[in-house]
Amino acid sequence: MDQRQADYLSYYRARVKKYENNPLYPFSYQAELAMLAAVEGCVTLEDFKTRVGDLPLKCAIALVKDQETARLAFYEEINEPIKAKYSRLIIEAADKVTNVYELTESTTNLMAKMNLELAVDGFAGNLYFDFTWLENMEENTTIIVGEPWKSECKQHAQEDIESHRKLFREITLPRAREWDPNWKMNYDLVWEDRHRRKIPAPDAVVKQRIEEHKRYLGGA
């Protein structure tokens, strides 16, 4: 065995060690074991070309499946249904490919679709960014002061409402509909775990802000 062949053998043994006893990579470990067995069965380095066959593809598929299986378990644990859905789709697609190009293409395309769906879904979570504005509205519309401050507060509140409505209708809504032509604000999504956990406020406050948001934006 020449030095180059010995180096190849050491390399594939190291790849097996990388996944050995790691519960997150069962598919990769088995695939790398098969690859190592093929390399160890080579009398010369030239034999590698004929013995390896589709093992590199199987190793690539195994790695994708291991990674997405781990992600799927995590996404299910924290209740991220969109991300979990695409991990399942990637795992299913990985089992159907016939070459590395197809594996890369299918994974990339599914990730792009996921990111688009997450972007559209994320608009519901943006409600929290309006909390400061809604708190200012509450202050300006309920404050107990005498004139002329009461009228000034009322005027400021109305100006802010009109400005925010214009921002929503001319910026937020058109941008959202670039992703989804039928998009409209779905306040029910705010209560989904993936959005609700990002809002550090009691349920009663969130419910109040949702009703205010609907009222000030004309139903959104």
Is the peptide bond between 26 and the residue preceding it cis, with omega within 30 degrees of 0? Answer: no
Mean pLDDT, range 46-63, rounded to an integer: 88
Query: What's the pLDDT score for residue 1?
Result: 64
CA-to-CA distance for 150 and 158, rounded, in angstroms?
Answer: 12
pTM for the model stands at: 0.85
CB 176 within 8 A of CB 123: yes
| pLDDT of residue 220 exceeding 80 | no
Question: pLDDT for 179-205, tens place per residue?
Answer: 889 998 999 999 999 999 999 999 999
What pLDDT was estimated at residue 37? Answer: 92
C-alpha closest to that of 75 among 118, 13, 107? 118
User: In the chain, what is the greatest distance between 2 CA atoms, to the nearest angstrom?
Assistant: 97
Q: How many CB atoms lie within 10 A of CB 216?
A: 21
CB 106 within 8 Å of CB 66:
no
Q: Which tens digit of pLDDT belongs to each residue from 104-118?
A: 999 999 999 999 999
- What torsion do the CA atoms of 98, 104, 108, 109 make, to the nearest 10 degrees? -30
Is residue 70 within 8 Å of residue 97, measured between CB atoms?
Answer: no
- Give yes or no for a contact between 199 and 128, defined as CB atoms under 8 angstroms apart: yes
